[in-house]
Structure 1
Amino acid sequence: MPPTGHSEEIQAMTTHAHQDVPQVRFGIVLLPNFTLTALSGLIDVLRLASDEGDKSRPVRCSWKIIGESLAPVRASCGIEIAPWETFGDPARFDYIVVVGGLLHSGPEPGRATLEFIRAAGATRAELVGVCTGTFALMRAGVLDGHRICVSWFHYWDFVDQFPATPPELVLADRLYVADRRRITCSGGRASIDVGAAILMRHIEPSIVQKALRILQVDEQHKSNAPQPHPPGLAPAAHPKIKRAILLMEQHLSSALTVDEMAKKLDMSVRQLERLFKAETGSTPQAYAKAMRMRVASWMLTHSGRTVAAIASACGFSDASHMGREFRHAFGVSPGAYRSGGTEGAATQGQAPEADYGEVYPGRKEFY
């Protein structure tokens, strides 16, 4: 069975397997409209690390797709996959992986699925939420008090659906999080990293590295590797500065102080400020203000919300504060900007404007 110790990263759990170590058993639950990339990335790591060569036999580990019934489950791309078995006893697995995908299309996870997840949470099996599979784990009540990783794309959806969750437990600046017997993953290619990290608990690392090379993955990402950089902003190469920028985006209406941000990044304030300046040419404070201005200017021209409501959503103390910043940045008031009083204005630290309606379709609130 997998180790039970607390860990910041899965990679810290480095118990190596010998030939007589039992097979690692995975049960995989597919939610309606699951993401095929997240599923295939995970399974291919298991498949390639489980056996020698290209035989793909379930020797070192095994995997089964399980469900409420044997009826096919449709992926978001339209491909359908039928579960191999119904749920049964969750204790027969070492890891139970729940793979999600689209949030607002199709049916929600059924009662039997949530009950199975809840029952699994009471066993020694470790629960893994991939992509929006984390939402199902949350609904089943098995993530209470745990740190939770969600995709940047679904961060505000998570806040909407689970407003009682302490903000400090919701992380959307990194690829995945391991907290006790719960692993949550942002999805996409990160499922490969999660699968590899789990297997390294049980299998010789060189075998897992071989599997990654076959998949053309040059380097396994650690859990604290950053999620993709927000669009339309001055780029940064350093992983911690990328994470800092993601944190700014996710705390738009209630900005983190530099002290709070440095603590989340496990850096000193001086280190953060120096590195941020070197990477972006700006201070963290100036960059965060530029981001607030960017979103506010987009909301003025793409929504009918009042200036006061936009000011609140974008982290200004009030409409007057936002008005002063607009005049300083653009030379016009927010009202004049909304009416087309300026063309092509840009604020410090910004690349050409991204369309937040495309980046976050349907989103009305930024927190």
Structure 2
Amino acid sequence: MSHPIAPLHSETRQPIRFGIVLLPNFTLTAFSGFVDLLRLASDDGDMSRPVRCSWTIVAESLAPIRASCGIQVTPWTTFDETGTFDYLLVVGGLLHSGPSASEATHRFIRAAAASGATLVGICTGAFALARAGVMDGYRICVSWFHYWDFVERFPAIPESNLIADRLFVIDRARITCSGGRASIDVAAAILLRHLDAAIVQKAQRILIVDDAQRGNAPQPYPPGLDPASHPKVRRAILIMEQHIANPLSLTELARRVDTSVRQLERLFVAETGKSPNVYGRQMRVRMAAWMLTGSDRTVADIAMSCGFSDASHLGREFRKEFDASPGAYRTTRPHALDSAMCEA
């Protein structure tokens, strides 16, 4: 059963100690968002000193760790040279592009759990916690995009323990988060246990972030998709968006979500009322419409960016959807920026 975090006291005498483990191909946004909130809440006067909080990047060795975007971060200390922590943060990222957490990392995670540290899995960091064997009996938050990856890798963990429609889950000494900007919300939830709310809220305002989202806030989904839809359909739509300029074949799309073409077609019709091909075409036409009113790019350029062979191909599909040519649509619709300014 999940338990909400309750404030412990207004101010700690000793800094709250955070250990941070970065997995290969970790997500930079998730890491930096969490640490920046710690930094801003830790000290006053824009000094960024680790007064209220301290954080240390730890790893098996001091070799730089590459983020999914290519930026490398050098650990500060090794597993065998570090002390104990109040919280151990494990930040994951890409699942299918290189080695995962090492056995030494798994041992370190288990040792941290045994020492009484609260374990925090960010993005696919939850996979490393599960692989280390420290998530038995705990509820686990995973991104809906990685839900089936988790099920396939950890069949012994009941699906009833997996939460794929919330930003993060707090279950006793385990905190798991879907990733991205939600890592800031997790950092805020943790700090509110130890610090005055005004301190945390000030740090959020500096980051130009609204008040912290609660863990039961829903994860964002692709536009136009019902959040209650089947996870394989949600994942397929996100993959379509990622390959909008070079659409995947239906066979390849089905392979990416680990299902048959026939099953994928059945799920799409049940969830959206459309076949995958029709849904994908409408998605690309809608993207082209947005680019027509939100940019000055040529119709030919937009056609190529949205996966159409040329401007004529886009024109034919555009008329089916909007009963107008791309040029006429651009002329009769207000520019997206102008519209936004008028509404402000």
Tell me the CA shift for residue 88 of structure 1. 3.2
How does 1:120-269 map onto structure 2 within 5 Å? 120-233=112-225, 245-250=226-231
Q: Name the amino acid aligned to 1:210.
A: K
Whole-Å separation in 2 of the counterparts to 1:191 and 1:210: 17
Rate the CA distance shift 1:142–1:60 in 2: closer, same or farther, 3 A.
same
2:4 to 5, 9, 12: 9
Rate the CA distance shift 1:89–1:185 in 2: closer, same or farther, 3 A.
farther
1:303 to 217, 234, 251: 251
- Residue 207 of structure 1 aligns to a residue whose secondary structure is helix
Rate the CA distance shift 1:24–1:315 in 2: closer, same or farther, 3 A.
farther
Rate the CA distance shift 1:225–1:128 in 2: closer, same or farther, 3 A.
same
User: 1:235-273: CA deviations, max 9, x gaps?
Assistant: xxxxxxxxxx434323879xxxxxxxxxxxxxxxxxxxx
- Residue 97 of structure 2 aligns to a residue whose secondary structure is coil
The answer (yes or no) to whether the contact 2:17–2:87 under 8 Å persists in 1 is yes
Q: Name the amino acid aligned to 1:8.
A: H
Rate the CA distance shift 1:71–1:189 in 2: closer, same or farther, 3 A.
same
How does 1:331-350 map onto structure 2 within 5 Å? none
Rate the CA distance shift 1:200–1:89 in 2: closer, same or farther, 3 A.
farther
Q: Which moved more, 1:142-151 or 1:160-169?
A: 160-169
The answer (yes or no) to whether the contact 2:106–2:128 under 8 Å persists in 1 is yes
Equivalences, count: 270
Question: Which runs of no fewer than 5 residues in structure 2 stay unpaired?
Answer: 238-248, 286-344
Q: Name the amino acid aligned to 1:167.
A: E
Q: Name the amino acid aligned to 1:38.
A: A
User: 1:177-214: CA deviations, max 9, x gaps?
Assistant: 00110000011000000001000000001100000000
The answer (yes or no) to whether the contact 1:99–1:133 under 8 Å persists in 2 is yes
In the alignment, which residue of structure 1 is the partner of 2:67? 75
Rate the CA distance shift 1:218–1:351 in 2: closer, same or farther, 3 A.
farther
Question: Which runs of no fewer than 5 residues in structure 1 stay unpaired?
Answer: 1-5, 234-244, 254-290, 292-300, 317-321, 331-336, 356-367
- Residue 127 of structure 1 aligns to a residue whose secondary structure is strand
Whole-Å separation in 1 of the counterparts to 2:284 and 2:137: 35
The answer (yes or no) to whether the contact 1:90–1:116 under 8 Å persists in 2 is no
Rate the CA distance shift 1:161–1:126 in 2: closer, same or farther, 3 A.
same
The answer (yes or no) to whether the contact 1:73–1:81 under 8 Å persists in 2 is yes
Q: Name the amino acid aligned to 1:44.
A: D
In the alignment, which residue of structure 2 is the partner of 1:22? 14
1:36 to 20, 28, 52: 28
The answer (yes or no) to whether the contact 1:30–1:99 under 8 Å persists in 2 is yes
Rate the CA distance shift 1:252–1:9 in 2: closer, same or farther, 3 A.
farther
The answer (yes or no) to whether the contact 1:232–1:352 under 8 Å persists in 2 is no
Q: Percent identity?
A: 57
Whole-Å separation in 2 of the counterparts to 1:186 and 1:230: 15
User: 1:25-45: CA deviations, max 9, x gaps?
Assistant: 000001011111011000000
Whole-Å separation in 1 of the counterparts to 2:8 and 2:284: 45
Whole-Å separation in 1 of the counterparts to 2:18 and 2:152: 31
Tell me the CA shift for residue 87 of structure 1. 1.3
In the alignment, which residue of structure 2 is the partner of 1:319? none
Rate the CA distance shift 1:64–1:125 in 2: closer, same or farther, 3 A.
same
Q: TM-score normalised to the size of structure 2? A: 0.70
Tell me the CA shift for residue 229 of structure 1. 2.0
Q: TM-score normalised to the size of structure 1? A: 0.66
In the alignment, which residue of structure 2 is the partner of 1:118? 110
